[in-house]
Amino acid sequence: MDTLARLHRGLLALDTGGDTARDNDPAPVPPDAGAPPAETVPRQRQPAGKRPAKGRRRPAPAPTRAQAVARLPEQAAPAPLPEPAAPPADPAIAAIRETFGYLSDAGDAAAGFFYGQLFLRQPHLRQLFPAAMNEQRDRLLRALGRIVETYSTPEEMAAYLGHLGRDHRKYGVQPEMYEAVGAALVATLRAFAGDAFTRQAHDAWNQVYEAASSMMISAAERDAEKNPPWWTAEVVSIEHRADRLAVLTIAPDQLLPFTAGQHLTVQTTRWPGVWRPYSIAGMPRDDGLLTLHVKAVPGGWVSNALVRHTEPGSQLVLGPPLGTMTLDRAAPGDLLCVAGGTGLSPVKAIIEQAIRESAMTPRRIWLYCGARRREELYDLPDLWRLADAYSGFQLIPVTSDDPAFEGMQGNVGRVAARYLPSAGCDAFVAGPRAMVRETRRVLERAGLARERIHFDDALLADGPARYAGCRRKLGVASKSS
C-alpha cells in the first residue's frame, strides 16, 4: 500500500494548522463602500439588451455574427483530448475503486443501510439529521465519491475535507462521532461489495478514512478558534425582481468572513434542520451585509420559504462559507464570465473583486449573462453600474427563448464559446447544473484549457448522474452490467 501510505503522509503533512493564504487575507474593501445603494430600476425604461444612455460611453459591442464566423477557424479549434489515465498499479487503490463501484451502483439502498448502521450504533445521532433523509443519502455518496476521486491529489483532497470538516460543525458533529461513522462505512462496504471487500480493501479503506477524518477534525478545531458553528441573521430587505425570484439583503449577527465566489447554506425557521446552498452575490462589505439571489423552484422547501414567506425582520441561520471558485488576486489574465439565471451571484462577486483590484491587476472582463427571456435578466441596472465604473468590463446579455430580444440570442454558453476572447483567459461559469456542464464542454472545444475553466464543483453534485460520472472518471464499470 505504498501509494495509500504516501497519501496518508501527504494529507497529514498538509494539516499544518491553517487554511490557505487566500482564506487568511484581509477582506477587500468594495468600491462603493459607504455609498448609497444604486437604483434597482432605471428612471427611464431601456430595452434589456441596451445600456442606459445619459451621455455615458457605450462599451465596445459584441462581434457580429459575420465577424464571429470569420474568427471561428482560429479561435474555436477543438482542444486536443487528454490522454486517458493509466490504470493504477497499486492494488489497494484498485480495491477502493472496485468496492466504491458497488456502493455507487446501489445508490439509495447503500446510503440507507449506512445510516441504519450508524443510528443503530449511536441512536442519539439521529437528532442531528432532518426528518426527511433523502437529500442526506445523496450527500453521503457524493462525499465518498469526491474522496475517491481526489485521493491521488492530496492538496485537492485536503481542501475538500477542510471545507467538509468546517461545515459539519453546524450539525454539532464531535470528534468521537467519526469512529461510529467509520464502523458504519465498513459494515456498508462489506454488505454491498461482498467477496470483493477483501482484507486488502478493508485495510485500504481504513487507512483512507483515518486520514480523511483526521483532516476534517483538525479543520473543525481550527475553525472553532475563530468562528461560530453557524451564524444567525436577520433579513434587512427583500426585492422581488422577476417571477419567483428575489434578492435578499441579510445582516449576520456577527462578522461572517468569506471570499468572493463562495456559497453558504441557509436554514429557515419554516424548515428547521433543512439546509440549502446559495452563492453570495457580492464582495465582502464594510457593513457586513450579505446579498443572496434566490429563485423559488417547484417543490423547493427553502427557496419557496425565502421568496414567498420571508419579509424584513425574518430570521435565518447561515452555515460557514464554502467553495473554491474564487479569483486569485495575484494571478493576472483576462476573465470570461458566463452566468445562467441566479448563477450570476458568484460571478458578480468575482467581477466586483476584479474591478476593485484593477489598479494592481488590470484585467479585461467579459460577462455573458443568460436567461430565457428579457424580463428574467433581473440585475441589469446594477451590472450597467459596474460597466460604468470600469471601462474594461463588457456586459453581453443573452436570451435563449425570446425572439423579440434586441441583444444576443441563443444558449449562453455556446454564445460565449463562439466569441471566446482568447485561449489565455480564465473562465468562471455558474448557473444550472446542465448549463455549467454544457458550457465547460463547449469552451474546451473552442480551445480553452480545462484548468482555466473554474466552477463550484460542490454545487454540481446531483445524485445518480454524479455517481455515474465518478465511475467513468475512475474507470469503474457498473456492477449490474
What pLDDT, on the 0 to 100 scale, is given for residue 429? 97
What pLDDT, on the 0 to 100 scale, is given for residue 111? 86
What pLDDT, on the 0 to 100 scale, is given for residue 144? 80
What pLDDT, on the 0 to 100 scale, is given for residue 240? 96
What pLDDT, on the 0 to 100 scale, is given for residue 137? 63
Residues of the chain with pLDDT > 90: what percent?
A: 53
The mean pLDDT value for 70-98 works out to 57
Predicted confidence (pLDDT) at residue 23 exceeds the cutoff of 50: no
What pLDDT, on the 0 to 100 scale, is given for residue 107? 85
The mean pLDDT value for 145-164 works out to 80
What pLDDT, on the 0 to 100 scale, is given for residue 128? 76
Predicted confidence (pLDDT) at residue 149 exceeds the cutoff of 70: yes
pLDDT digits (tens, 9 = 90+) for 387-404: 999 999 999 999 999 999
- More confident call, 219 vs 140: 219
CATH fold, domain 2-23+90-226, is: Globin-like (1.10.490)
- More confident call, 416 vs 1: 416
Nine-digit cell at 455?
A: 466552477
What pLDDT, on the 0 to 100 scale, is given for residue 55? 41
- More confident call, 342 vs 466: 342
Bridge partners of 366? 336, 394
Q: Among 42-46, 108-112, 171-175, 224-228, whose mean pLDDT is lowest?
A: 42-46
- More confident call, 343 vs 94: 343
What pLDDT, on the 0 to 100 scale, is given for residue 224? 95
What pLDDT, on the 0 to 100 scale, is given for residue 86? 52
**Which of the listed CATH numbers 3.40.50.1820, 3.40.50.300, 3.40.50.80, 3.40.50.1400 matches domain 31-60+327-448?**
3.40.50.80
- More confident call, 322 vs 12: 322
Would the CATH topology of 2-23+90-226 be identical to that of 31-60+327-448? no
CATH fold, domain 231-318, is: Elongation Factor Tu (Ef-tu); domain 3 (2.40.30)
Q: Among 10-14, 323-327, 463-467, whose mean pLDDT is lowest?
A: 463-467
Domain segments of the chain as ranges? 2-23+90-226, 31-60+327-448, 231-318
- More confident call, 202 vs 462: 202
pLDDT digits (tens, 9 = 90+) for 325-371: 999 877 788 999 999 999 999 999 999 999 999 999 999 999 999 99
Confidence class of residue 67 from pLDDT cuts 50, 70 and 90?
A: very low
Mean pLDDT of the chain: 80
What pLDDT, on the 0 to 100 scale, is given for residue 134? 62
